[in-house]
Every structure is written in structure tokens, then in C-alpha cells.
């Protein structure tokens, strides 16, 4: 399988998740494209995949940070409640 056919197959698999996939697919299937252009498209696709991975990792980190903030808030509330209980007990 040559690079062009391989790229067409990869883009068909990614078609549902990439906005420009239809246009790139049409270009690849209907135009006479040289290897330099195909190599460029492969690089663009690789960069796009890396960016998606980075965005997912970033989203996971942000989600984790949000959960940590909630835990800190809960711990602060619990600490404040414990201090209130200690004050009440001291007053008795």
C-alpha cells in the first residue's frame, strides 16, 4: 500500500472526528498529488493527533485540579467545624 492509499484509509477512519477530513479525503481521492504534498499532509495529521492528545491530557489535569480544590474546600469546612466543636466544648 502506498502512502497516498494509507493516508486515505487513515483519514476515512478519522472522518467522524475531524472537520477537514472530508475536504482532504476528496483532495486525495480526486487529485494527482505528489509525495511532498502527501508527506506534508501526514505531518499535519500527526501534529493534529498530538494536539488532541495534549488537549485531553490538559482536560484531565484541569479536572484533577478541580477535584483537588473541592477536597481542599471540604477539608477547610471540616477543620472549621472541628474548631467550632472544640470551642463549644471548651466553653462547657
Question: How many Å apart are CA 70 and CA 9, to the nearest integer?
Answer: 45
Considering its fold, how many domains does the chain have in total? Answer: 1
pLDDT digits (tens, 9 = 90+) for 16-63: 666 677 788 888 888 888 888 888 888 888 887 788 788 888 888 898
Give residue 23's pLDDT.
80
Has residue 18 been placed in a domain? Answer: yes
Has residue 33 been placed in a domain? Answer: yes
Give the residue numbers spanning the domain of 56. 3-65
Has residue 84 been placed in a domain? Answer: no
Has residue 86 been placed in a domain? Answer: no
Has residue 91 been placed in a domain? Answer: no
Has residue 23 been placed in a domain? Answer: yes
Question: How many Å apart are CA 59 and CA 55, to the nearest integer?
Answer: 6
DSSP tag of 32: -
Has residue 76 been placed in a domain? Answer: no
Contact 28/4 with Cβ under 8 angstroms? yes
Has residue 87 been placed in a domain? Answer: no
Span 4-10, average pLDDT: 82
Q: What is the pTM of this model?
A: 0.54
- Between 17 and 85, residue with greater pLDDT: 85
Give residue 25's pLDDT.
83
Give residue 16's pLDDT.
62
Contact 7/26 with Cβ under 8 angstroms? no
Amino acid at each position: 500500500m502506498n502512502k497516498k492509499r494509507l493516508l486515505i484509509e487513515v483519514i476515512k477512519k478519522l472522518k467522524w472526528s475531524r472537520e477537514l477530513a472530508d475536504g482532504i479525503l476528496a483532495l486525495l481521492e480526486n487529485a494527482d498529488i505528489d509525495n511532498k504534498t502527501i508527506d506534508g499532509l501526514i505531518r499535519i495529521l500527526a501534529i493534529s493527533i498530538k494536539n488532541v492528545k495534549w488537549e485531553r491530557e490538559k482536560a484531565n489535569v484541569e479536572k484533577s485540579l478541580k477535584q483537588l480544590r473541592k477536597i481542599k474546600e471540604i477539608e477547610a469546612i471540616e477543620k472549621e467545624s472541628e474548631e467550632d466543636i472544640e470551642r463549644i466544648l471548651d466553653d462547657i
